[in-house]
Structure formats: structure tokens, C-alpha cells
Structure 1
Amino acid sequence: MTNLLYFSTVSAIIMFFCGLWSFVSYHKHLLSSLLSLEFMMLGVFWLLVENSTNIGSEVYFGLFFLTMAVCEGALGLALLVLIVRIHGNDYFKSFNMLEC
């Protein structure tokens, strides 16, 4: 059981750092940045749920965190649709900061 717990914790940490690496290195499109942020949030959620079940605390905090992550994802997709409608693409280089 201890090996499974260790493997699950290491997997969640690797998941978070893979999302962080993809966020830092692949920042050409807004969609890839949003997907890597969501991948990082899933890694944090996995670690949070795993630790809360080991401690024996309530699971409702994990559900609240998952709800906030889903709301963050929906907000990011809404902004992506708005940016694609205004600019025509989601390249970061095509955004002009003076057009607000």
C-alpha cells in the first residue's frame, strides 16, 4: 500500500511539473497555454484529494477545488472564443496591447 501511495504522489508531482514545463516552453498559442494550466490544476487536484483521503478529512474541499478549476477552465475558454472573434487567431504575437 505504501508503494502505491508513493507512486501516486510522484505521479501527481510529475503531472504538475510537466504542465509547468509545457506552459513555459510552448507559449505560441493561447489554447496550448490554457491546456497546460488545466493540466497543472488536475495534478494539484489529484495531490489534494490523495492527501485529504490519507488524513481522513472531508472530501468536500476537493469538490470545491474541482468546481473552482472547472470555472477557471470555462472562463479561459470564453476568453479564448472572444479573442479569436476579435483578432481572428490565438497567436500571442498578433495581440496588440494598445487595443483594449
Structure 2
Amino acid sequence: MIMLVLIISGFITFVLMHKHTLNMLLSLEFIMLSLVVGLSMLLNNLESESYFILYFLTFAACEGALGLSIIVAMIRSHGSDFFWTFNVTQC
């Protein structure tokens, strides 16, 4: 039940903090970490192999690194991480 509350609070934070890219990335990482904790508790209760958690953590780390590189490129090209300054039609 606690894992569901953590995931829902992460989604609410993601929706409410949609103006800054960094806040959105932090809420996505919070969702991923709560999923990892929930998955590890589930696999521990089932007494199963937990190699899948390592794959999931690797995917989460790659997603975070990609998000940070996009934020750095966006700040260098547009000056801030606000979504309203980012115009898709500009090249």
C-alpha cells in the first residue's frame, strides 16, 4: 500500500511541476526508485531471483543520465529549463 502512495505522489508531482524540466526529471526518478523498491519487496516475498532489479536499475540510471544531458543541452541553447521558452518550430 505504501508503494502505491509513493508512485501516485510521484505522478502528482510530475503533473504539478510541469514548468521546469529538472523538477519533472526528479519526479520521474522518484517514481523509478519507488518502483525498484516495490519490485525488490515483491521479489523478496516470492523468494525469487532478483537479477531483474539490476536490469531495472541500469535502465533507470541510463534514463537519468539521458535526461540530464537533455537538460544541459536545453539550458545551453535556450538559457533556461522552462518549457515555455522552448519552441519546437525553431531549429
TM-score range, shorter chain: over 0.9
Instruction: Return 5+ residue gaps in structure 2 as ranges.
Output: none
User: 1:73-88 alignment to 2 at 5 Å?
Assistant: 73-88=64-79
- Report how far residue 26 of structure 1 moved: 1.3
The Cα RMSD (Å) is 0.8
- CA shift digits 1:34-80 (9 cap, x unpaired): 00011011111111111011111111111110111011001000100
Structure 1 gaps, min length 5: 1-9
Moved over 4 A (4+): none
Identity %: 46
Partner of 1:69: 60
TM-score normalised by L of structure 2: 0.95
Matches within 5 A, 1:6-85: 10-85=1-76
What is the SS of the residue equivalent to 1:74? Answer: helix
The farther-off stretch of 11-20 and 67-76 is: 11-20
State the TM-score, normalizing by the size of structure 1: 0.87
Q: How many residue pairs get matched?
A: 91
